[in-house]
Amino acid sequence: MPALSVASTETYESGDSALRVVAISDEREENWLTVHRLAGWLEGCGAEGIHGAVPTYDSVLVEFDPYLVSARQVRAFVQLGLRELDATGASSTEQREFDVPVVYGGEYGPDLERVAEYQGLDPADVIRLHSEKTYTIRCLGAPAGSPMMDGPAFPKPVPRLKDPRLSVPAGAVSVAGRQAVIAPASAPGGWCVIGQTPLTVLNLRKEPLVPYKPGDILRFRAIEAGDFAAYAGRELEPRP
């Protein structure tokens, strides 16, 4: 049941063209819902000069054109939005579900053994923990609209790589800290890659370019390396 109230927030200056709004309640879900609802409200309000909002876990970055609107005006606007959201309450949005086949370990997941060793687990346990969880997509991040999710129930947070890779392939399934992610595009990366999905996540001919949005549900399913080719070229799509 989504929280109906809007979390308290703090607003920080972030240069002349952006503000960072942070939700500071003790409830993580409420914070997350607040910043995403605020981002949605800002996108939809059509205020002149506001480019858009980037919501993540407990914060939202609001970007604007300082020629058309000042940081002070945007700050007042954010307060207006929060009051309005508090008054209307959260509406339930449709949650779609995504199934993601993953080849774990080997060349597809070069850090699987390392993660297992650090956690004091067998690679098979890491795969089990990673694929038995139901994930909620928390936000879209770098690179290219990556689905950022709360990570699997590992005993410890996963340290980032000391030497980030110069290139991680599209489809890479990674973990770091208490987070999990899929890479829609090839990019440098410092997260631990434990597998790869053969599905295509990013489609430049569609808008938005990735099929999921924050709040959607995602599950990983282990497949054999031999089946990678059979899935390759297919697009990630919500379950009907």
Residue 222 near another protein by CB under 8 A: no
Select 146 or 197, whichever has its Cβ closest to another protein. 146
- Is residue 211 within 8 A of residue 237, CB to CB? The reply is yes
Instruction: Record the tokens describing residue 70, joined without a space.
Output: 């000042």
Binding mask 99-118 for another protein (x = CB under 8 A): --------------------
In three-state secondary structure terms, 33 is: helix
Q: Of residues 6, 7, 23, 60, which one binds another protein by CB under 8 A?
A: 60
Minimal distance, residue 151 CB to another protein, in Å: 12
Residue 204 near another protein by CB under 8 A: yes
Minimal distance, residue 139 CB to another protein, in Å: 7
Residues making up the chain, counted from first to last? 240
Round the CA-based radius of gyration of the chain to a whole number and report it: 19
187 contact partners, CB below 8 Å, separation of at least 6: 142, 143, 144, 167, 168
How far apart are the C-alpha atoms of 158 and 175, rounded to whole Å? 7
Q: Of residues 5, 25, 47, 63, which one binds another protein by CB under 8 A?
A: 63
Q: Of residues 3, 5, 47, 56, which one binds another protein by CB under 8 A?
A: 56
How far apart are the C-alpha atoms of 81 and 39, rounded to whole Å? 9
- Is residue 107 within 8 A of residue 202, CB to CB? The reply is no
Residue 144 near another protein by CB under 8 A: yes
Minimal distance, residue 1 CB to another protein, in Å: 24
What are all long-range contacts of 138-142, with beta carbons under 8 Å and residues at least 24 apart? 138/32, 138/56, 138/57, 138/214, 139/36, 139/55, 139/56, 139/57, 139/214, 140/210, 140/213, 140/214, 141/56, 141/181, 142/187
Minimal distance, residue 186 CB to another protein, in Å: 8
Binding segment for another protein among 81-89, 176-184, 192-200, 232-240 (CB under 8 A)? 176-184
Select 58 or 105, whichever has its Cβ closest to another protein. 58
Q: Of residues 53, 127, 180, 182, which one binds another protein by CB under 8 A?
A: 53
Minimal distance, residue 83 CB to another protein, in Å: 22
Q: Of residues 23, 85, 139, 193, which one binds another protein by CB under 8 A?
A: 139
How far apart are the C-alpha atoms of 131 and 125, rounded to whole Å? 10
Select 53 or 199, whichever has its Cβ closest to another protein. 53
Binding site for another protein (CB under 8 A): 12-18, 20, 39, 43, 51-61, 63, 66-67, 70-71, 139-146, 148, 157, 177-179, 184-185, 187, 202, 204, 207-210
